[in-house]
Amino acid sequence: MNKAQIVGVVAVGALIIGVIGFGIAGGLPSFLGQQNATSSGSSSSDSTGATGTTSTPTLVIGSGTTQTTGTIKRGPTSPEPNIPLKVPVDPGISSSPANPAPTSTNDSPNTPAPQNFTIHASDESADLTNITVPKGTPVTITFFVNTQGTYYGGLDFRSSVLNTGTIKVGESKTISFNANQSFSFTPYWPASNVAKPYKITIVAQ
């Protein structure tokens, strides 16, 4: 091996040693920083006990340069207590259902008792010409046309409320109504529409 070759080998060896030395110099501080952080975390855990663990994470920048990024405190984990939810209740509001409104058994005022009447009539008169009842009374009247004193065509009792229609001599007809107002029946000859000289008055009071 000549002198030039020896110089080349020495130069290559020096280059390799330099590269290795640079790598060791850059990695050693980072390694030492991680060891310090681990040691600090273990020490803090021993001193705080059940209260929590505090660790300081680090960030490696460049070759062997470290920078603290913040402090994180972790407390002990434990299940949250199951606390029942209490809803405030207004003391003025009753939990019982409201009293139902009373139901009326009668939709209308008391109705008077029904009343029945029978009237015997002729061309000149009738045995009952005035009927007085409480207002709203159900009234039933039977008109009977007498054979004596009555023209053979019979009579027709007419009013502003209802009419009997023709009633032959010796026959009768029954009508019913509610006496909600006062009115009068007037007898007529059906064939000639001639009114007879009397009235049968219904008084509702």
CATH topology for 115-204 is Immunoglobulin-like (2.60.40)
Residue 13's H or E segment, with its range, is helix 3-48
Contact between 69 and 57 (Cβ < 8 Å)? yes
Short-list 139, 126, 120, 123, CA closest to 183: 139
E strands, the chain, in order = 53-55, 58-61, 65-68, 72-74, 115-121, 130-133, 137-145, 155-158, 166-167, 172-179, 183-188, 200-204
Contact between 156 and 143 (Cβ < 8 Å)? no
**Structure pTM?**
0.48
**Domain residue ranges in the chain:** 3-74, 115-204
Kindly give the confidence (pLDDT) of every residue in the chain, 205 residues in length, as a single tens digit, with 9 standing for 90 and above.
666 676 666 666 767 776 566 555 555 555 455 555 444 444 444 444 434 444 454 444 444 444 444 554 555 555 555 665 665 555 555 555 555 555 544 445 688 999 999 999 999 999 999 999 999 999 999 999 999 999 999 999 999 999 999 999 999 999 999 999 999 999 999 999 999 999 999 999 9
Give me the pLDDT at residue 23, please. Answer: 56
Give me the pLDDT at residue 111, please. Answer: 85
Quickly tell me which residue has 């040693």 as its tokens.
17
Give me the pLDDT at residue 44, please. Answer: 41
